[in-house]
Chains A and B, each alone.
Chain A
Amino acid sequence: MAERRLVNCLRLLRFMASEMTQAELGERIGVTRQTIAAIEAGKYSPTLETAFKIAEVFGKPLEEVFQWEMQPAASESAEANGATETSKLHHLMRLHMTNRGGNTMP
């Protein structure tokens, strides 16, 4: 059975925000650098309050920072990996276009 997991694009958002460091982001939202690293690596799911604080720092809605993704079962994972990567790439491109004020992708 497929499970769901929380994914995020914190790394990209930090890069786009003048390469903000994990320590700077942590300081702004009141958590440690290690916690930011754990969130980025998918090792820790932040509380709702922290998630909103992170989104606020980058000026993005919550759903652009965090996504609730379907994690495929082991047997399906090989073929699903390609699709996940494609959807992630689309998401990142959409974010980048929005940031530049360009047209959003379909």
Chain B
Amino acid sequence: MPIKEQFSRVWLMTMLVTYGAYFAAVVAMGEAGFWSQMAAFIATVIVQVAALGIAGAIMELRHKGGPKADERDRAIDQRATRTAYHVLMAGVIILACVMPFSETGWRLFHAGVFAIAMAEIVRHGQIVLLYRRGWHG
């Protein structure tokens, strides 16, 4: 399995677990105070970065001296990034042009985080899918 695919699988799982837990906590907290909400977000980011850092270091060690990314890896990455861009743009349009008329404060913040997390999940999900199913770019 190419290292890029392995890394995308780890990224996808990490995003699903950490942000799944984050949004579950956000729903459970309801209208909690500023520091509770900020602590939940910071804890999520720290856990995600730590998990990705450890997984990335392990994969680098296992693939030391191995082949670097080639044209197929780059093509798949570009295709997935393009799809994720549309997801992010849809999120930004809703967040910046629709939600300000009805929502305020933390709801806007959570919507922004949700849009970014969704775009990343779509990106890495598509990378895994394109490696598995093949792609004729």
Interface string of B100-136 (1 = CB under 8 A from A): 0000000000000000000000000000000001111
Residues of A within 8 A of B70 (CB): 30-32, 35
Q: Majority SS of interface residues in chain B? A: loop
Taken together as a complex, chains A and B put the C-alpha atoms of A6 and B137 apart, in Å, by 12
B136 touches A45 (CB 8 A): yes
Residues of B within 8 A of A46 (CB): 71-72
Taken together as a complex, chains A and B put the C-alpha atoms of A46 and B72 apart, in Å, by 8
The 8 Å CB contact of A31, one of B72, B134, B135, B136, is: B72
A44 touches B135 (CB 8 A): yes
Closest CB of chain A to B78's CB: distance in Å? 13
B72 touches A44 (CB 8 A): yes
Count of A-B contacts with CB under 8 A? Answer: 39
A6 touches B136 (CB 8 A): yes
Nearest A-chain residue to B76, judged by Cβ: A44
Interface size class of B (residues with CB under 8 A): 10 to 19
Q: Say if the beta carbon of A47 comes within 8 Å of chain B.
A: yes
Closest CB of chain B to A4's CB: distance in Å? 11
Residues of A within 8 A of B24 (CB): none
B71 touches A47 (CB 8 A): yes
Closest CB of chain B to A53's CB: distance in Å? 11
Q: Say if the beta carbon of A77 comes within 8 Å of chain B.
A: no
A43 touches B135 (CB 8 A): yes
Nearest B-chain residue to A49, judged by Cβ: B71
B72 touches A38 (CB 8 A): yes
Residues from 36 to 62 in A contacting B, C-beta threshold 8 Å: 38, 41-47, 50
Q: Say if the beta carbon of A33 comes within 8 Å of chain B.
A: yes
Residues of A within 8 A of B71 (CB): 31, 35, 46-47, 50
Taken together as a complex, chains A and B put the C-alpha atoms of A42 and B134 apart, in Å, by 8
Interface string of B71-101 (1 = CB under 8 A from A): 1110000000000000000000000000000
